[in-house]
Amino acid sequence: MVRYRFTKAVTAAALVACSGAFLSACSGDEPDPGSEIGADPKLPEQSQYLIPPMHVAKVVGWKDGERPKVADGFKIQALASGLKHPRSVYTLPNGDILAVESVAPPEASAKRPKDLIMGFVQSFATGGGGGGNEGSNRITLLRDADGDGVAEVHDVLLDHLNSPFGVVLVGNDLYVANTDAIVRYPYKPGETKITDPGTVLTELPGGPIDHHWTKSLTASEDGSLLYVGVGSNSNITENGIQAERDRAAIWEVDRESGRHRIYASGLRNPNGLSIEPQTKALWTVVNERDELGPNLVPDYMTSVKDGAFYGWPYSYYGQNVDPRVMPQRPDLVAKAIAPDYALSSHVAPLGMTFASGTSLPADYREGAFVGEHGSWNRNAFNGYKVVFVPFAGGKPNGSPKDVVTGFLDGDEQARGRPVGVAIDKLGALLVADDVGNTVWRVSATQ
């Protein structure tokens, strides 16, 4: 009884606190994020927090026999487990699969008390799960020679990299996007270890502040150009606008000379760079800004137009101005273009790949798979799954479908979190699960 009264008192105090204009960190006022998916999302009003929600799922890892759930018509198996924080997967022409295992670069020195607290909270999201991160920052080659969906060969192809993420093969050149440079390595089909030290093609913005450090990489259709995603150095310019030089952009890099230019900008944290197979257009998934409310700002996928500006930091979805940026730039806001397709807020899309081939069920042959790493900046979890966005004529066409779920257990603890996705040589979907230390293979049941 006493306990009950105490609970009531606490609840009452919380309600009083929540009624404040700038206090909106309580879960009760988090509407369903479903209305902000698709080509024309309904964006709610901005709300700035007194205490922003910092709700990350504690990592517990996969126990023996546990695996994610898949949609009807699919089956899932672990292509490789016991990896160390795999963040992306890439299929080589001979069917070998590269798992890029990486750890975040060291945090920059704390600029303010919040950095200490955030660092502490976020450490829950990446730690645990067994395996550990020691010895990571490498690329492991996986080979499933007998085609049973389990890789018999695990060989370290490249080691001692600097927080690698993106990887792409053009001809016999293997390009690895470390957090601070694109490095080229000679590759021979079938080899399981590269001893060449590699050649730096282009340096990329790295530390000392390296907030969004994952450098996603892909090549143009003819292989002459590389596209690399360079994320912003802050949530919303709180590290100073100087720290954002050449960031929040996709760079186009000449593969021969290393010369580069900004291909498109205003993209807060672009990942999953992929060429759409019909139109050959460059697409990306983007992590939008935090701390404007549980349903702002929706992360998105978009085709990337040459020279376009997508708003960050000054505005989002066109001309919705962010009041946290000063000085403001009405000239840039005026030319900001809205992205193609919203994926819902804070789902954290970090991987995307287009469907190819005919081995997956019929509804999943034209469109994009998106790995949603999962939210931290809202009380109800969002994301933590792989979805499929159907396409028609090179454009999204319809609602996303859940393909791989069950990364959170019944207690909302993270058994794994999906990041990069790829299609293997037989047409199955591969999912890098960083805290689950696994690469999952999702294929049709037939």
Partner 1 sequence: MTYSTVPITMRAYRAPLRSIPLHFSAACFTGALITDIAYSQTAEMTWANFSAWLLASGLVFGGLALLAGIIDIFRRRFRFAGGAAWIYVAASLAVFVVSFFNAFIHSRDAWTSVVPMGLTLSIVAFVLMIVAAIFGSITERRIVEGY
52 binds partner 1 (CB under 8 A): yes
237 binds partner 1 (CB under 8 A): yes
Q: What share of the chain is helix, strand, coil (3-state, %, to 5)?
A: 10, 35, 55
442 burial (CB, 10 Å; 0-12 / 13-18 / 19+) is: buried
Using the minimum distance from each CB to partner 1, give the nearer residue, 13 or 200. 13
- Could you give the CA distance from residue 349 to residue 163 in angstroms, rounded to a whole number? 19
49 binds partner 1 (CB under 8 A): yes
> Three-class SS string for 15-66?
HHHHHCCCCCCCHHHCCCHHHHEECCCCCCCCCCCCCCCCCCCCECCCCCCC
Of 58, 69, 114, 305, the one binding partner 1 (CB under 8 A) is 114
- Could you give the CA distance from residue 310 to residue 31 in angstroms, rounded to a whole number? 26
239 binds partner 1 (CB under 8 A): yes
- Could you give the CA distance from residue 355 to residue 114 in angstroms, rounded to a whole number? 41
Q: What is the DSSP string of 69-91?
A: EE-TTEEEEEEE-S-SSEEEEEE
Using the minimum distance from each CB to partner 1, give the nearer residue, 209 or 282. 209
Using the minimum distance from each CB to partner 1, give the nearer residue, 324 or 425. 324
Half-sphere exposure for 326 (CA within 13 Å, toward CB): 2
Near partner 1 in 115-134, by CB under 8 A? 117
Of 88, 140, 178, 234, the one binding partner 1 (CB under 8 A) is 234
Q: Which stretch binds partner 1 (CB under 8 A): 223-231, 237-245, 250-258, 349-357?
A: 237-245
* Least distance CB 292 / partner 1 (angstroms): 10
Classified as helix, coil or strand, 126 is: helix
- Could you give the CA distance from residue 253 to residue 255 in angstroms, rounded to a whole number? 6
Question: Using CB under 8 A as the criterion, what x/- string covers residues 240-269 for binding partner 1?
Answer: x-----------------------------
* Least distance CB 324 / partner 1 (angstroms): 4
355 binds partner 1 (CB under 8 A): no
Question: Using CB under 8 A as the criterion, what x/- string covers residues 301-330 for binding partner 1?
Answer: ----------------------xxxxx---
Q: Which stretch binds partner 1 (CB under 8 A): 105-113, 143-151, 258-266, 370-378?
A: 105-113
* Least distance CB 7 / partner 1 (angstroms): 24
291 binds partner 1 (CB under 8 A): yes
Provide φ and ψ at 347, rounded to 5°. Answer: -75, -15
236 binds partner 1 (CB under 8 A): yes
Using the minimum distance from each CB to partner 1, give the nearer residue, 223 or 240. 240
Using the minimum distance from each CB to partner 1, give the nearer residue, 107 or 276. 107
Both structure tokens of 266: 């205003």
- Could you give the CA distance from residue 248 to residue 231 in angstroms, rounded to a whole number? 5
Using the minimum distance from each CB to partner 1, give the nearer residue, 143 or 211. 211
Which residues lie across from 445 on neighbouring strands?
none
48 binds partner 1 (CB under 8 A): yes
- 286-299: string of b/e by CB count within 10 Å (b at 16+)? bbbbbbbbbbbbbb
Using the minimum distance from each CB to partner 1, give the nearer residue, 156 or 241. 241
* Least distance CB 331 / partner 1 (angstroms): 17
Site of interaction with partner 1 (CB under 8 A): 22, 48-52, 111-114, 117, 234-240, 291, 323-327
